[in-house]
Structures are given as C-alpha cells and as structure tokens.
Structure 1
C-alpha cells in the first residue's frame, strides 16, 4: 500500500472513528477507557430498560385466555428457560465487553453467518418498540384525547433526542427515573391488596375463557408467547458490555450486577406478567376483555380504588409514558446497533449508528399505524420460535461446545479475518430449529403437537449445536489462531488488555482486543477492517 493511499483512507475514516463515543463503539469491543461506570450503575441502567409495559399485556392476554393457573405456570416455565439460556450470554458480554452480535459471530455462526441473527434481533427491537409505542399512544388517547395516529407519531419522535448520545445519556435516564417508576408501579398494588384481600383469591381462581383447569397445552401456548421475550437478553448485554473489569475488589458487586441485570431481568419480567394477569382479572367486569389487556386501563382501574379521582388519570399517564420512554430508548438504541452491524458487514460501508436509529423508528411507526397491538400475541408467538432458536444455539455453543466438548474456542472472537465467513455449527442448528418449530407452530405436524413449538425450538437447538460441532470437529470456528500481535488479548486477571495500538488506516488508538495485524503492515482496528473493501488488510488464512 502506498503512503498516499494510507493517507487518503485515514482522511476519510478518521472522522467516523473520532466520533466513537457518540457512536458508542457500535461494531467494536468496548474499551476500558470508555467503561467508567461502576457495576451498580451499569446494572441499574440495564434494569431500567425492562420498565416496558408489554409484560402486563402479555400476562393479561395469557391469563384471560387460559386462566390464572395456566398463565402462572407458563410464565414460570418461560422464565426458567430464559434465565438458563441468558446466563452464559450475559457473562460473556460483561466479561469480554462485547454485544450479542459480536458474541454470536464466534459462537457457532461465523463472521457473515451472524448477519441472520442480527436481523432477527433488529426485528425484536422494532416489534417491541411498536408494542410499547402503541401502549403509550393508548395512554395519550385515554388521558388527553389524542388520536391514536398522532399518539403513535409522538411516541416515536420523542425518543430520537434521547437515544442520540448512547450509553452516557441512557445511564443517566435509567438511573434517575427508576425510583419514580418503581413507586408508581408497586405502591398502588400493595395498597389495593391490603384494601381488598379477596382480590387475590379471585385472581388465583380465575379459569379464563376455556375454563378447563390446568392444561399442558395451555401452559406451552402461554410459554410460547412469553418466550418471545428471549431476545431481551441482547438489550441487557448492550448495557452489560460496559461493565468495568472484574477484579478481586469488585468481584461481588460485579457478579451481582451481571446476574440481576443479565438473566435476572426475567425475574422482574415474570413478576410484571403475573401482575398483568391480576390487574386484568380485577378490572375485567368493569371494562371488558378487549380493554383489560391495555396497561393504561389496568393501572387506571387500580388507581381508582386508592386515590382521589382527579389524580387517577394524570398518575396513570405519567407511569405509562415513563415506562415507554425508558424501554423505547433501549429498543431504538439496540436496534440501531443490530442494523449497523448487518449493514456494515454486508456492504463494507459504515454509515453510523444514528442512521439506523431513524430506520428502526420508521419501521416501528409503520407497525403501530398498522395496529400491530391488536394481534400482539400472535406476532409474538410466531417470533418466539426464531428468537429461541438463536439464543439457545449461542448459549449451547458457549456452555457445551466451549466448556464441555472444547471444540469451540473459549475466548470469543469477532474480528474479520479471524473467523470463517460461515460456521455450519450455529447456522445449521439455528435454521433447523427455526424451521421445525415454525412448522409445528403452523400445525404442519398436527394439532396435538402445535402448542409445543417452543419446546421443539429449544430441544432441536440444544441437541443439534453440539452434534454439528462434533461432525465438523470444530474446523469452522477460527480461520486463524493468531492475529499477528504478540501481546496476549487478556491481562493477568483474565480481563481484556487495556494496551492501546494505533490503527494504520484511521490513525486512532484502540485497545488490544479491537486490533489485529494488517496484512499491509502495522495494526488495524476492527471497524476499519470491516470496511476494507478490497481486503488488502485481511490476514491470510492459516495453513492447516
């Protein structure tokens, strides 16, 4: 490469690289120099992102259809699966400071293979943005008589200025609003139960529209809806990747934050789903089944029992708007990361994360205007099959292929040139799990098996992922075992090294885990390597 060529690339790439704090290290390892928050702050920020109200609607929908007993069992089954699969992903994200897409690349999918799962995750974010935006619009219509179409637009536009500055702004927003949100959600319910203890009995004895008692099929149908939230672990990891290095001094705080804000999010989510069933049953006779699944109706109905009439609607509106803003900044943020990851790898162009904030919000607005909320559970039941196939495949690769079979490298790899383009271990397992579970969901294997599509998705992924690793003997994980830099990636405590190297293309310094040697000389950062169109910087494959 000529000096002029390097200089020209430096001039064009440096502006984007210099804005990485604004872009929040979209496609990169998150460096120590940026991770200045304590474990408690990162954990609280991550948990602030689960303030969404779709849980209340999901729980209400399952409870009204199948009864409280089936709903609670479904919620518990889904929570157990989500916790177990989310734990290894959260650990890897926090320990190695990578988002879920970067983890997925080296956990069975390959450099380009994980584009599939990035699109799946991006779909998760705009589906749930649309869901939460619809709930906010319902609140605006209820309290302010704002037309739904205008409420959809308002709930979308208000997010843009909040999500522009990434983690720095999100950490403050989530931390400052968590106490008020918890007070508004928990206090009224406690007062209601104290005032009307019989409400608990009515809730537990409610049998739903079927009225047939506990049913395995009903439990699995309900669990399928709840399991659609499995992709939420990706949004949790978008916060957890900014955890500080784990040391002897912060070990307890570090693990507490990772467990509670990682897989532990589902504990809080399950509680909200159960509360959703409770509130729907409580207000059912007053508002009817259609309105009983709307959170604004649920909380208004509860607030009416314990506070003056003039205060009911304003407080319910504050709770709904606050909840929707807290989650939709996360949906917009995480969705933009997923879209940018996919677009940059496929086109080798880096337009910046903010472009895809607008893309994600536009898709979400279209879904809202199409009244997606009215068929929410159907959308989530279908989507859950793809989400489960992806997350369970990655979790299985980490737990079994890395730690038991030792066929997958324990240390996650995400950099171009280090990975094969496609790894059949994850891609085949994911596609087989998705296709089979979706086929079961649509009844292609008979009505009796239809409710068990979530179980099919989980079992196929758990069995096929290690089987594919054994069949391929792990040959498709790493294209190279060395990245051309002599310093180890990890320091003496097992944390990613903080040593900085200058990128030969953009001229910016980045920490060791983000760098590889360039085939043209010097070292190159992962983003510049991703956008290297002619591949002149990509190291050759290692001879076997």
Structure 2
C-alpha cells in the first residue's frame, strides 16, 4: 500500500465504495487527472513504456490477411493510407493527453460528448481492448500448441490468466515490464527479417510480385479501401498510448524538445512501427505460403518459425518463435487488460455512482476476451475488425476534429479540456450526433444495406461524416452545450505560467485527501472543495455546483 493510501481516513462510514475508489485510484490515478507530484518519469521513459504496448503480433496477422486476399500492392497502399489517417487523428489527442494529463475518456467528455455522452465511446474503447486481447491470446495459444503441444482451449486459458498478477499494480509495474522487455522483443522481430533479405534477395521480388487470391497484381480502389478498413480498426490504439502519455512531465523551456519527441513517438508515432509490422506480416506470409498454405500463413508463430528456420539450427527455432510470441502477448495484453478495466470502471461509476473496484472489471474484460477466444474469433478476424473499425473511426475522428477545428479554428469549443461533473452538460449533441450518424451510416454500408458498390467505402464514410458533422453541429448549436458553467468556484488559476496544469493542492472535504487544482471544484453545500471522483460517486448531487447563467 502506498504512503498516500495509508493516510486515508473517512468520517462517512456509510460510503465504503467511495473509500475503496479513493484507495485504488490513488495507486495510479485511474479515472482522474494525473497530478504533477505523481508524474516522476522522464519523457523518454514514458515514451518507451507506451511504445512497449504496441508489441502485439496482431499486426502481422492483419497485414498477412490483407496481403493474401488482395495482393502485395493493394496491401501496402492500404497500410499506408490507414497509417496517415491514424497519425493525423492521433496527434491532437496525444498532445492533449500529455499537455493536460488526462486519458482519452476525459478528453472525449470535453470535446463534444458531455459528461454522460462519452459513456458511448468508453464502451467502444473497452470493446477494442477485449477484441485485441482475444486476438493476442489466440496468437499465443497457437504458439503454445506448436511449441509445447498444449490444446488451444488450454492455451487460451493460460494466456488469459497469466496477465492478472501483472496488471494489478498499474503504471509502476507496467513501466518496468515494458522497458526491460522491449530490446529483447525488437531483436527477435528484426533479426530474421534482416537475415532473409540479406541472404535471399529473391524473397523481396516474390513478395512484391504476389497478386493475392485471384488477383491480377494491380492496385484497385475497392481492395485498398477494404484493406485500409481493417487496418483502421487499430485507430483506437491511441487510447492505450494515452493511458501512458498522461503521465508525461510538465512541458518547460528546458525539456521542450525531448517532450515533443516523446509525445510524437509514443502518440501518433506508434503507427509507424505498426505499419511496418503489417508490411512484414505480408512479407512473411508470402515467404511461407507454399510450405504451410494460406490457412496458417497468417499465424505469426508460423511466420517466425519459417523465418527462424532459415537462419539457425532446428533445435533453436521453436523455442525462439514461442519466446517471441509469449513476450509480445504479455507486453500488449497487460496494457489491454489495464486500459479495458479503466474504461469499464469509468463508465460504470458515472452511470451508477458506485465504484465496485477496478479488479472487478479486469476480470469482466478477461472473461469476455476468453469467450471470444473459445469461439475461435481468429478464423473470422478480418470481419470483426472491419465492422469494429467503423465505430472506432467515427469516435476518434469526431474528437480529433473537435480539437483541431472547433477549439482552434472556430473557437466554439473551450480550448482547455474539461472533464469534471457539474462543469459539463450531461450530453453534448455536437459529438454524440456526429458519432452516432457517422458510425450508423458506415455500419449500414459495411453490411451492404446501401448496396455492394458502396460497401468498401464504409471506413471513408465514417471518417468524412465525422469530420463534416462535428464542426457543423458546433455551428448549429453555437457551442452552447460544451460547458454547463464556466466558473468552478475556486479563485486559483487552473494553469501555471508555462500553461501546465497547476500543482497547487487542495483537500477534498469528502475523502480527506489532497488533490491538485485541476482535479477539484468548489462544493455546492459546503465552504470547501471536492475532488472529481467524489463528485462522480455523489448519488444525490449534494456537492455538484448549480448550472451557470
């Protein structure tokens, strides 16, 4: 137990749930603003930790699936198109997380959705975490079956249960795990690829010439968009990057260059490595295709077994391939379990006013993921990701557009993000309408409701509609639904002279803990302040400030 937790006292024995929430969220400031006193890591340590979370093997499967279906040319263009969209939309989100030290749900609340409206997107993000946990768990189970002879059902269970001890301890444990395992992972991933290209240049020619199943080798729009739609399902990965980026130290004149480098690398920059892994997946799938067939060429364990076969003794091949898969699965699935538990807990606490404990939702998330694995989701991977991408694109583009256009260009959205209950309207039609319309229409297109011709264009429709409707709704509503009130009742400024969130502390009169300025508001019925989480668990509204004029 941390020193902060051991000081916890309460004068309200009738609210044990609130006390539990305080104890748990003070471990790594889940569900709330991350204070300066906790953010002791350097920018590059935060960046390395965040990038460790993208060690997942799904990229190899995604790239291989697109490449085998549509050919190398279409796959590479699709991967590039998706990477550009993900980078552009991820940049403003990463900046806001690092600058204001809040996660993507808190950013979403003040960027067009409102206090309860962002529950929609929290569920979308939670779905992302259990879908990709199941995908990575399936890949690990394939490795355990090949290397140790474990049946798939047992491999699914092992890959699920082994992350529970690691995810309990939050950012402190995860930062150490990611930093120490990243060099090993990089060496095992890059070495076989370099060896193949250096010793057999013909593999590159065969890779570039591969035309796909029944393809003619040419690049066509429909194939590119179908492939890009699958890749764009990863657009919500920025949410997991932000779960680390919110711990960035304050930006100052002294650390400005390192700060920006870390934010770009670990924020939108994750997609550069992701796109590279997808291209490698196509390369390795084409390389082993004639030996294993299309059914298993998309399995990363088979891809790296084939690559290791070419460069080392046979007795070492399987152990190294299995080690790579296991390390990758652990690195990403601790992040999936951690981020998913935050998303579920955040939504549940807002809707019910109760905090059941983050570990409850770790188990819920893992239970859903295990069910997906046992249902053999790997066999219909592209279908799941293609459908999911429509929702994820609509959400991320809506929030990114609100920041870039509504905040900075139109100035209809408040420049500084707001997330505290009482300061926001329950629902803001700007983001909610744009998101629902964009995702609804694109999903209809994906399921051929609007005809077969338009089906490949569903991800484009999701992005374009979200981009157009978000500023349009802000203009129509004249920005009236962003803030319920503009004054939080405290005279101290929210930001210091450098524009960073203020480090001045106040004591919450409900839970009796100290919190920094951005995490508190004045209390309606007491001459005191109350923290954001105690506001969230206030079922009767006793502490919530009245609406402004």
TM-score relative to the length of structure 2: 0.97
* Equivalent-residue separation in structure 2 for 1:305 and 1:459 (angstroms): 45
Residue 249 (structure 2) aligns with: 244
What are the within-5 Å matches in structure 2 for residues 347-426 of structure 1?
347-426=352-431
1:18 aligns with 2:33: no
What are the within-5 Å matches in structure 2 for residues 392-471 of structure 1?
392-471=397-476
Residue 289 (structure 1) aligns with: 294
Classify the secondary structure of the residue corresponding to 1:487: coil
Residue 503 (structure 2) aligns with: 498
Q: Which of the numbers 180, 188, 195 marks the counterpart of 1:184?
A: 188
* Equivalent-residue separation in structure 2 for 1:506 and 1:26 (angstroms): 16
1:539 aligns with 2:545: yes
Q: Which of the numbers 529, 536, 540 marks the counterpart of 1:530?
A: 536
1:82 aligns with 2:82: no
Classify the secondary structure of the residue corresponding to 1:211: coil
> Can you list the C-alpha shifts for 1:155-197, whole angstroms capped at 9, x where unaligned?
0000000000000000000000000000000011101110100
* Equivalent-residue separation in structure 2 for 1:386 and 1:288 (angstroms): 33
* Conserved? CA contact 1:118–1:342, under 8 Å: yes
Residue 322 (structure 2) aligns with: 317
Shift of 1:210: 2.5
Shift of 1:19: 3.6
Residue 51 (structure 1) aligns with: 55
Q: Closer, same or farther in 2 for the Cα pair 1:184/1:293, shift >3 Å?
A: same
* Equivalent-residue separation in structure 1 for 2:112 and 2:419 (angstroms): 11
Shift of 1:14: 3.7
Shift of 1:292: 0.1
* Conserved? CA contact 2:18–2:537, under 8 Å: no
* Equivalent-residue separation in structure 1 for 2:159 and 2:275 (angstroms): 25
Residue 208 (structure 2) aligns with: 204
* Equivalent-residue separation in structure 1 for 2:442 and 2:405 (angstroms): 22
Shift of 1:21: 3.6
* Equivalent-residue separation in structure 2 for 1:8 and 1:58 (angstroms): 51
Shift of 1:425: 0.2
* Conserved? CA contact 2:20–2:357, under 8 Å: no
Shift of 1:6: 5.9
Q: Closer, same or farther in 2 for the Cα pair 1:10/1:493, shift >3 Å?
A: farther
> Can you list the C-alpha shifts for 1:223-280, whole angstroms capped at 9, x where unaligned?
0000000000000000000000011111111100100100000000000000000000
Q: Closer, same or farther in 2 for the Cα pair 1:121/1:456, shift >3 Å?
A: same
1:123 aligns with 2:110: no
* Equivalent-residue separation in structure 2 for 1:199 and 1:167 (angstroms): 42
Q: Closer, same or farther in 2 for the Cα pair 1:493/1:217, shift >3 Å?
A: same
Q: Closer, same or farther in 2 for the Cα pair 1:223/1:11, shift >3 Å?
A: closer
Shift of 1:27: 1.1
Q: Which of the numbers 156, 160, 164 marks the counterpart of 2:164?
A: 160
What are the within-5 Å matches in structure 2 for residues 299-310 of structure 1?
299-310=304-315
What are the within-5 Å matches in structure 2 for residues 321-340 of structure 1?
321-340=326-345
> Can you list the C-alpha shifts for 1:87-144, whole angstroms capped at 9, x where unaligned?
0000000100000000000000000000000000000000000000000000000000
* Equivalent-residue separation in structure 2 for 1:432 and 1:88 (angstroms): 22
Classify the secondary structure of the residue corresponding to 1:416: coil
Unaligned runs of 5+ in 2: 1-9
* Equivalent-residue separation in structure 2 for 1:513 and 1:448 (angstroms): 50
* Equivalent-residue separation in structure 1 for 2:214 and 2:467 (angstroms): 33
* Conserved? CA contact 1:126–1:361, under 8 Å: yes
Classify the secondary structure of the residue corresponding to 1:292: coil
Shift of 1:16: 3.5
Shift of 1:540: 0.2
Shift of 1:8: 4.1
* Conserved? CA contact 1:6–1:504, under 8 Å: no
* Conserved? CA contact 1:14–1:507, under 8 Å: no
> Can you list the C-alpha shifts for 1:307-349, whole angstroms capped at 9, x where unaligned?
0000000000000000000000000000001000100000000
> Can you list the C-alpha shifts for 1:402-449, whole angstroms capped at 9, x where unaligned?
000000001000000000000000000000000110111111222111
* Equivalent-residue separation in structure 1 for 2:213 and 2:24 (angstroms): 55
